[in-house]
Structure 1
Amino acid sequence: MNAVAKLDENAAKLEMEAPAKPAAAPVTVAPQIAPAPVAPKQKRRAGRFLLMFVLPAALIAGGSYVWVTGGRYQETENANLQQAKVSIAADTAGRIVQVDIFDNQSVNQGDVLFAIDPEPYRIALAQADAAVAGARLNVEQLRAAYSQALAQEKSDESQVQYAQSQYDRAADLAQKGINAKSSLDEAKNDLDKAKQQLAVAEQGIVSAKAALGGNPDIETDKHPTVMAALAARDKAAYDLVQTTVKAPADGIISQAASFKVGQYVGSGTPLFSLVETGDTWVDANFKETQLTNMKPGQKAEIMVDTYPGKTFEATVKAIGAGTGAEFSLLPAQNATGNWVKVTQRIPVRLELTDADAKAALRTGMSATVTVDTGVSRGLPSIFRRATAGEAR
């Protein structure tokens, strides 16, 4: 009994010496959320009907309207800007003594590009002037020879008349027996000589007249010899002028970096190029299906990659004679068993109408072309026929 009491007493002491436990935190009960009311089934069905039928119908109607009213503007990005390129060459051969241009320089029509040594051509012109003077002098000599031939003819005619009278007198005296027959023969011989000299004089007149071009009163500068000399003189003067080469049009010099003073050039040899800024056009390659309503004279807009957002006005100038494949070096042969139809492209030339734009653009630039054909797609033919039948 004592042992049990001691154990109970020790347990009570240990329980009193142990630290007190913290009080438990109060438990908070979350408020319950009332459930949302369930939508009626009719509203769900209306929304589904709107999504499944009304919205697709609206999209189809809008797309159909866009398709029917579209097709008026035909566009292609397969286009490049082109400018005329002229090869500059000298009409005369010689050594370059003056160069007034450099590569990529802008020039105007009539500006001096370069000059060839003119001295040999000045000498040739002086020789041609001397030849003209000699030809004119020759014509005056021919005219004098013609006058001399006329005078000789008159003299010979007088001599023939005198010899004829002498012969008639001798024949009369010989008939009367007063004069000897030898005197008659001598008079006849003199008459024959006079007639022969007259014939020679007449032939001299014909020759002198032919030398004057058949017209004794011809102007000196109208004579063929003088005209030939004048033509040679004009050629020499032309060659002298051509020693100074000028720009044939407004443009930009290209490929002239190696063109220097002292270089010897031949006649007609290309030296460098001039890109004409005043002659600018666009070659656009449209699909053959886009050319149904396209005609020359229609308005167009051009956009180049160099100036994004800026448009240039243009006009359809001409439509190509055939597709690019028709004019290729090796045309496609379609007479094979594995032929596949491919949409072809036909070049269309458009002319820029803005003069200021021509100076800002450069040949070879990529462009986007939009042509206003003025004709929309409209309803397909089957719908048009059906509508016409209902109207009847």
Structure 2
Amino acid sequence: MNAPVSPSAAAEAARQSPPSPEPKTGTLRRWLLRLMLPLVLAGLLLGGNWYWNTGRFLAETDDAYVQGDIVVLTPRIEADVVEIAVGDNQPVTRGQVLLRLDDRDARLQLAQSRAALAEADAVVLTARQTLEQQRAQIGAADAQLEQARAEQVRAAADARRTQSLVGGGWSSRQSNDQAIADQRKSEAAVAAAEAELAVRRQAIPVQEAQLAQAAAKRDHAAAAADLAAIALSYAEIRAPFDGIAGNRAAQLGQRVRPGQQLIAVAPRPEALFVTANFKETQLVRIKPGQPVEISVDAIPGHALHARVDSFAPATGSEFSLLPPENATGNFTKIVQRVPVKLMLEPGQPQEAVARLRPGLSVVAEVDTRDDPGAPRGIFAAAAATLGLR
């Protein structure tokens, strides 16, 4: 058995034994602290330099969406759908037929209006010929009047001669009476010719009015024919611009009425734009023409470029269905947002642009610096500050 050791002997042995070495973890911690301090300081310097030169000039918002001028097409006549010429989500070109409606009623109305137009043309022609005939009759009446006046002059001369012959006993009184009667007959003939000429001349305004009335009716018939032709063209619903057809509600054989939504056409991706709703406090330095970097949630890894195009004429709340009325009740100030239109720059990656669709969410970042071409990265901004670039 081992002999027992007294407590005093154990304490003495512990004092005389060599000290144990320091744990390595403490040394490693001190080295890490010494290494982290300059790295943190360098990071703070780089970050502060980037914010001062670049970051504070970048206005960013995630309240932004891709938009386009989408057109919903509706019929303008009541008819049945007889053909659907495009499929869902199919690209279309301007003027391409999308839907065809039954045009038999429209064709009959066009034929009827064209027949009425032909009848009106005939009435106009008749009125014009009647007017020309009336003018010719005026010429004949004028000639008859001249003839009657000439006969009046001859009869008056005969009457004077016979009267002088009767006074000298060279002619009979009967001859004188006959000459006087002829003179009066010629005077009556002149009066009748003058009256006939006046009647013919008074008929001219009447004939001209009838011609104008017939021409007006002809114009009315022509307008009706044009309306019928336009109504016939409404039987074909065409694409108003190059785009993509979608949201088709029309069905084959369906009876449609004016104003009913049938199909929509959205613009092609390259014609889309972005509406970014910036806070009013961010608009201090934003101006048209400034560059914008766009990140689309549906297209990760692709940064698109755009430019500030224009500002909305009012805040978004003013265009809402129920605009706020701040003059009533308690007032709480809320930062308003103003829609800003951003136009995509040409030359974008086609594979990214082709995936754009109206309504997609976007993060827009506007560079409001005086020199938008200056470096934007942290290290590039530091190099520019140090004069290395």
Whether the TM-score (by the shorter chain) exceeds 0.5 is yes
For residue 237 of structure 1, give the secondary structure of its aligned residue in structure 2.
Answer: helix
Distance across 2 between alignment mates of 1:142 and 1:77? 74
| Corresponding residue of 2:248 | 256
For residue 293 of structure 1, give the secondary structure of its aligned residue in structure 2.
Answer: coil
1:75, CA displacement in angstroms? 0.8
Q: CA offsets per residue over residues 317-358 of structure 1, 9 Å max, x none?
A: 11222333344423241677x645443322211112357455
| Corresponding residue of 2:299 | 307
Task: Say whether 1:83 aligns with 2:68.
Answer: yes
| Corresponding residue of 1:246 | 238
Q: CA offsets per residue over residues 240-272 of structure 1, 9 Å max, x none?
A: 222111122233434324x21222222343333
Question: What's the % identity of the aligned pairs?
Answer: 34
Structural mapping, 1:341-380, within 5 Å: 341-354=333-346, 356=350, 357-375=352-370
Distance across 2 between alignment mates of 1:226 and 1:121? 21
Letter of the aligned partner of 1:331 in structure 2? P
| Corresponding residue of 2:127 | 142
| Corresponding residue of 1:122 | 107
Of residues 34, 38, 52 in structure 2, which corresponds to 1:68?
52
The answer as to whether partners of 2:299 and 2:355 remain within 8 angstroms in 1 is no
Q: Which consecutive residues of structure 2, in runs of 5 or more, have no partner in the other structure?
A: 6-12, 23-30, 164-175, 372-389
Distance across 2 between alignment mates of 1:364 and 1:252? 15
Letter of the aligned partner of 1:344 in structure 2? Q
Structural mapping, 1:7-18, within 5 Å: none
The answer as to whether partners of 1:301 and 1:369 remain within 8 angstroms in 2 is yes
| Corresponding residue of 2:323 | 330
Structural mapping, 1:23-34, within 5 Å: 24=2, 32-34=17-19
Q: CA offsets per residue over residues 132-159 of structure 1, 9 Å max, x none?
A: 4334333433343233223212221222
Distance across 2 between alignment mates of 1:362 and 1:56? 43
| Corresponding residue of 2:256 | 265
Of residues 219, 224, 227 in structure 2, which corresponds to 1:232?
224
Q: CA offsets per residue over residues 203-262 of structure 1, 9 Å max, x none?
A: 344444555569xxxxxxxx66555444433332222222111122233434324x2122
Distance across 2 between alignment mates of 1:230 and 1:326? 47
Task: Say whether 1:133 aligns with 2:133.
Answer: no
Letter of the aligned partner of 1:285 in structure 2? N
| Corresponding residue of 1:383 | none
Distance across 2 between alignment mates of 1:120 and 1:206? 42
Q: CA offsets per residue over residues 300-321 of structure 1, 9 Å max, x none?
A: 1111211122112211111222
Letter of the aligned partner of 1:368 in structure 2? V
Distance across 2 between alignment mates of 1:166 and 1:363? 95
| Corresponding residue of 2:177 | 179
1:289, CA displacement in angstroms? 2.1
**Residues 299 and 255 (structure 1 numbering): CA distance in 2 closer, same or farther, change over 3 Å?**
same
Distance across 2 between alignment mates of 1:334 and 1:204? 74
Question: Which is greater in Rg?
Answer: 1
Aligned residues: 332
| Corresponding residue of 1:14 | none
The answer as to whether partners of 1:81 and 1:365 remain within 8 angstroms in 2 is yes
Letter of the aligned partner of 1:129 in structure 2? R
Letter of the aligned partner of 1:179 in structure 2? D
| Corresponding residue of 1:380 | none
**Residues 145 and 125 (structure 1 numbering): CA distance in 2 closer, same or farther, change over 3 Å?**
same
Task: With the length of structure 1 as denominator, give the TM-score of the two structures.
Answer: 0.71
1:370, CA displacement in angstroms? 0.8
Q: How much is the aligned-residue C-alpha RMSD, in angstroms?
A: 3.8
Distance across 2 between alignment mates of 1:235 and 1:339? 56
Task: With the length of structure 2 as denominator, give the TM-score of the two structures.
Answer: 0.71
Task: Say whether 1:158 aligns with 2:143.
Answer: yes
The answer as to whether partners of 2:318 and 2:324 remain within 8 angstroms in 1 is yes
Distance across 1 between alignment mates of 2:159 and 2:311? 103
The answer as to whether partners of 1:87 and 1:270 remain within 8 angstroms in 2 is yes
Distance across 2 between alignment mates of 1:64 and 1:261? 65
Of residues 274, 290, 296 in structure 1, which corresponds to 2:265?
274
1:24, CA displacement in angstroms? 4.7
| Corresponding residue of 2:82 | 97
Q: Which consecutive residues of structure 1, in runs of 5 or more, have no partner in the other structure?
A: 1-22, 38-46, 215-222, 377-392
Letter of the aligned partner of 2:304 in structure 1? F
Letter of the aligned partner of 2:101 in structure 1? I
